[in-house]
Amino acid sequence: MRSKYNRLVMTVLLLTTFTYSAKAQMSDSVQTYLDTCLTVLKNNALYAHRVNWEEKEAEIRARTKTKAEAFEALKVVFTSLGDMHAAFYHEDKSFRLENTALLERYSDSLKVAWKRGPQIAPRMIDGFAYFVVPYMGAKGQKQIDWYANWLYEEVVKLHKQHPKGWIIDLRLNSGGNIRPMLAGLAPFFREGVISYYIGKNGEASDEASIKNGDFLIDGQVQATIKDKIAQFPAAKVAVLIGPGTASSGEITAAVFSKRTNTLLIGEPTAGLANATNGFVFNDNKTYFLVSTARIADASKIAFPETIQPEIRIHGQEAFQAVTQDEIVKTAINWLRQ
């Protein structure tokens, strides 16, 4: 019995010695780097509550002597966060959780359509206006303005044909920058607040609104539209969604779901309807992208992270021949009612 006790004490002493040795070998720069990484995640990550920080910090510090080792060790925290929207970049390395369940939902038709690149593909179908709002990877104000006007101008062209109703296809919209999307779609909305961000502590921020036909965040116009037209918020609109609808595409769908005379049709979205933020440090060598807020409606009630259709249709899309697309046909039938 005494022998077993002695072995146990020796094991504890060895583990303690190893931990202190690891700390002793960690340079001040690495210590500061780890402190920064962990502080950023604890203070900002929407899903920080999922992590046992005391346990994970001890594990990470025990495994880390260099910044290269820190990259591998910090994967533990990102895994515990379970944030499918998050990404971690360090020099030439990157890490994000594989969203296997979502990947399995992608159809061959969706994958082929994505390969064609972002397209709006506007057309009239039986007197109804149809167009796609694609992924918009806009960076900087110049690109935001360009994308917003690209979308807005196509909406205007369709509007001049006096459609009996509208079909807005978000099924290919895997995200990007929300600003040009909602700026380009501003004519569909009434004046007023349309959404907020709700942080992990419940605080509301980033009030999004429509004013004078412009899309604003906290009172600031987000894109300069060249030739604005009168808004048409009473128009009947069918919004198409599916597993390819992610991130900003989901936010767009969520905002439309609160609009009158609107119906969401298709499949549940990707489940990434939240706001992300990027954090750069370590002399621009390390970058965290993490979810930092939920999306909420004008009443500050958070939307679910997966946006659900009101009419659910599975696996009937035909992006290469939309007039034969069963989801588009369903939208037209509803618009005719």
Confidence of residue 55 (pLDDT cuts 50, 70, 90): very high
Cα 177 to its chain centre, rounded Å, is 9
At 25 the pLDDT is 62
By the 8 A CB rule, do 235 and 210 touch?
Answer: no
Rounded Cα–Cα distance for residues 148 and 143 (Å):
8
Q: Is the dihedral of CA 83, 84, 90, 93 positive or negative?
A: positive
> 240: closest CA among 334, 177, 327, 158?
327
Task: Give the 3-state DSSP-derived string for 308-324, with helices as H, strands as E and coil as C.
Answer: CCCEECCCCCCCCCHHH
pLDDT in tens, 140-173: 999 999 999 999 999 999 999 999 999 999 999 9
Q: Supply angle C-alpha 36, 302, 210, rounded to 5.
A: 100
What is Dmax (Cα atoms) for the chain? 91
Cα 171 to its chain centre, rounded Å, is 14
Q: What is the mean pLDDT of the chain?
A: 92
Least confident of 11-20, 203-212, 227-236: 11-20
Q: Supply angle C-alpha 290, 142, 149, rounded to 5.
A: 100
The partner residues of 195 in beta bridges, in order of sequence, read: 208
Confidence of residue 16 (pLDDT cuts 50, 70, 90): very low
Q: Is the pLDDT of residue 18 over 50?
A: no
At 24 the pLDDT is 44
pLDDT in tens, 271-327: 999 999 999 988 899 999 999 999 999 999 999 999 999 999 987 899 989 999 999
Amino acid at 79: T
Residue 29 vs residue 130, higher pLDDT: 130
